[in-house]
Amino acid sequence: MRILLLGSSGLLGHDCKEVLGNAYEVIAPNREELDIINWDVVIEKMQKVSPDIVLNCAAFTDVDACEKEHFKVRKVNLEGPRNLAQGSARFNCKVVHISSDYVFDGKKSLPQPYFEDDSMEPLSAYGRSKYESEVAVKENAPDYIIVRSGWLYGIKGKDFIKSILNKTLGKKRKTLRVVADQYASPTWSYRLATQIKELIERDAKGTYHATAEGYCTPYELSQYVFKKLNLNISLEPIGLTDYKQLAKRPHNCILENRLLKKQGLNVMVDWKEDVDAFLDEFGKDLVKEARRGKK
């Protein structure tokens, strides 16, 4: 099987390259080599590579910047996936596209989770662009998998775990204010990459939720991480609306992996199990990097 992977320099793409690259031929051009907003380049590459699968981990993911950069968010998050989907129709291959919990408004009463067929009512420009990307993929790709996930962390790129280490150890601070009224499932990008591999191997079709099992708040995750790493940081709980950010965020980001479970495809595990595994493997290095002030 030959896989054309976009976004391999990012958080999820990096792990997909590793997990899928161990089993299949993975061609992973960087943004300079293949900019997904450029139709001609997309088509030329697809013709040359003749992939069985196009896996799109590329996106404009800075949720606050999306509120201001309307042109860019439309190009990268909507027109890019549409190009890939139309290309897949032309070259007869499958598209695997990654979407987000931010397609929902998060107003469901807690702790009720969102299901794959719940109506999408995004609160932010980023969420709207991910919703539109889903529509573009569904309308244009004859064979597709859409994987909705959320709150990713991993060894590559920016994430919440590195951010709290940098804000404390990196700045020699002993206290941290953290949101305590937003609920989601911290999901390890490596686990999600394994789930994507399973979906591809089982020739799945349609839209799937794929997040870790269980849920917590950013406050609870921070507590868990600092305790696991034996770091003495005191936390102050704050509300989502106290934390000044440009984009509105949903309060309830809990997704149920209903279809994965129904079809016997679920490889996702409890969030604590994966945070433990991740920190056992990378925790010491992350602490060292944060202390050195490395982002």
Ligand X SMILES: NC(=O)c1ccc[n+]([C@@H]2O[C@H](COP(=O)([O-])OP(=O)(O)OC[C@H]3O[C@@H](n4cnc5c(N)ncnc54)[C@H](OP(=O)(O)O)[C@@H]3O)[C@@H](O)[C@H]2O)c1
d(CA 231, CA 262) in angstroms, rounded, equals 40
Contacting residues for 38 by C-beta, under 8 A, at least 6 apart: 83
The one among 140, 149, 217, 222 contacting ligand X by CB under 6 A: 149
Q: How far is the CB of 30 from ligand X (least distance, A)?
A: 6
C-beta nearest to ligand X: residue: 10
Contacting residues for 93 by C-beta, under 8 A, at least 6 apart: 46, 50, 51, 52, 53, 54, 143
Residues 176-215 that bind ligand X (CB under 6 A): none
126 part of the active site? yes
The one among 13, 170, 218, 250 contacting ligand X by CB under 6 A: 13
The one among 150, 170, 186, 250 contacting ligand X by CB under 6 A: 150
**DSSP string over 112-172:** PPB-TTSPP--SSHHHHHHHHHHHHHHHH-SSEEEEEE-SEE-SSS--HHHHHHHHHGGGT
Tell me the two tokens of residue 46: 């697809």
**Window contacting ligand X (CB under 6 A); options: 28-36, 177-185, 216-224, 228-236:** 28-36
The residue written with tokens 């016997």 in the block is: 264
- Closer to ligand X by CB, 233 or 253: give it: 253
Angle at 97 between CA 95 and CA 99, to 5 degrees: 160
CB atoms under 10 Å from CB of 119, counted, come to: 8
The contact pattern for ligand X, residues 42-81, with x = CB under 6 A and - = no contact, is ---------------xxxxx--------------x---x-
The yes or no reply on residue 6 touching ligand X (CB under 6 A) is yes
The yes or no reply on residue 35 touching ligand X (CB under 6 A) is yes
The residue ranges that bind ligand X (CB under 6 A) are 6-7, 9-13, 30-31, 35-37, 57-61, 76, 80, 98, 100, 130, 149-152, 157
